[in-house]
């Protein structure tokens, strides 16, 4: 239901060009997130997903367009936004606790050592790393390192969490376990999340909305798929839901066929009305998606 307030995160008309005279990697990218929403973005390699995430993080600057979060323009990195990279990017000389404490001390410089440690412990426990506090990254498995990355991002209590394929390098079992932890932590903390993934099942498990990007150059968001599965879902039961395969087939069909057709301007051939809730942000006329998102088609 609309509150009449601007969305928590508003992205308008974003474009990024890396060389003078070259086509932009993506153009007219517009979307919004509400507080507490979990959004995944899916698109082929090179369409600009990481670049968009970096712009949201304040680590890169758009050639055109603007990003506002909580009413303020994003103009540089901030502890209001926590980032988890695929390669976890831990500081190898610091322990598990040290890696997490680093951001916590920056966020709350006045806190005592005991308070910092107690705060870190809460997040170490949350990601089930209790007992590993003094280990260095070299002593941890890939899954444990990724848990440290997640704990570090959550511990600064960011207004928004940005996840760049955080589970891409993990084996299927570890990935599943951490995905479920992420679902649990997000439910407990009502965290707002923007996440890149190549895995459609991961997107259906985690996301409230799935942004589908066409191929680059000049990639754009062609559809916003609203996940109609109940939010209380687990990896083990999700495929029993009657909508599961409809949503999954829609996403796979987009990646296999429609993303390319849309990039070639063949929007009519790419039309697909097989889902109950799909928003097409200004597919033909380039209308900016934002506060005025309109479901152009709702098929039941």
Ligand X SMILES: Nc1ncnc2c1ncn2[C@@H]1O[C@H](COP(=O)(O)OP(=O)(O)OP(=O)(O)O)[C@@H](O)[C@H]1O
The residues binding ligand X (CB under 6 A) are 18, 25, 43, 45-51
Least separation, in Å, of the C-beta of 79 and ligand X? 24
Q: How far apart are CA 253 and CA 224, in angstroms?
A: 14
**Cβ nearer to ligand X, comparing 55 with 186:** 55
Q: Which residue number, 104 or 251, has a Cβ lying nearer to ligand X? A: 251
Nearer to ligand X (CB atom), residue 30 or residue 51: 51
| Residue number with CB closer to ligand X (45 or 138) | 45
CB 25 → ligand X: shortest distance, Å?
Answer: 4
CB 78 to ligand X: min, Å: 21
CB of 16 to ligand X, least distance (A): 7
Contact predicate 211/221, CB 8 Å:
yes
Instruction: Tell me the CA distances in angstroms from 7 to 61, 70, 287, 292, one per residue in order.
Output: 21, 8, 17, 10
Q: How far is the CB of 227 from ligand X (least distance, A)?
A: 21
Taking the least distance from each CB to ligand X, the nearer of 156 and 200 is 200
């Amino acid at each position: 239901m609309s509150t009449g307030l601007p969305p928590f995160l508003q992205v308008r008309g974003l474009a990024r060009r890396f060389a003078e005279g070259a086509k932009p990697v993506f153009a007219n990218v517009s979307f919004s997130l509400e507080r507490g929403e979990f959004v995944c973005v899916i698109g082929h390699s090179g369409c600009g997903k990481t670049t968009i995430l970096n712009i949201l993080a304040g680590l890169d600057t758009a050639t055109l367009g603007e990003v506002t979060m909580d009413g303020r323009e994003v103009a540089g990195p901030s502890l209001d936004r926590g980032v988890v990279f695929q390669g976890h990017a831990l500081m190898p000389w610091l322990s598990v606790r040290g890696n997490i404490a680093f951001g916590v001390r920056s966020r709350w410089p006045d806190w005592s050592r005991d308070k910092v440690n107690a705060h870190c412990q809460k997040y170490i426990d949350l990601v089930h790393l209790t007992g590993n506090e003094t280990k260095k990254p070299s002593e941890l498995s890939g899954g444990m390192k990724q848990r440290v990355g997640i704990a570090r991002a959550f511990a600064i209590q960011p207004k928004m969490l940005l996840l760049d394929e955080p589970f891409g390098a993990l084996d299927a079992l570890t990935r599943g376990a951490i995905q479920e932890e992420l679902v649990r932590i997000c439910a407990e903390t009502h965290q707002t999340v923007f996440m890149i993934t190549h895995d459609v099942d991961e997107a259906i498990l985690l996301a409230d909305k799935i942004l589908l990007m066409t191929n680059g150059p000049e990639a754009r968001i062609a559809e916003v798929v609203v996940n109609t599965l109940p939010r209380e879902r687990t990896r083990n039961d999700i495929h029993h839901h009657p909508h599961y395969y409809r949503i999954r087939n829609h996403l796979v069909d987009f990646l296999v066929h429609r993303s390319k057709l849309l990039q070639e301007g063949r929007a009519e051939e790419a039309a697909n009305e097989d889902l109950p809730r799909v928003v097409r942000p200004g597919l033909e006329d380039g209308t900016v998606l934002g506060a005025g998102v309109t479901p152009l088609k709702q098929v039941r």
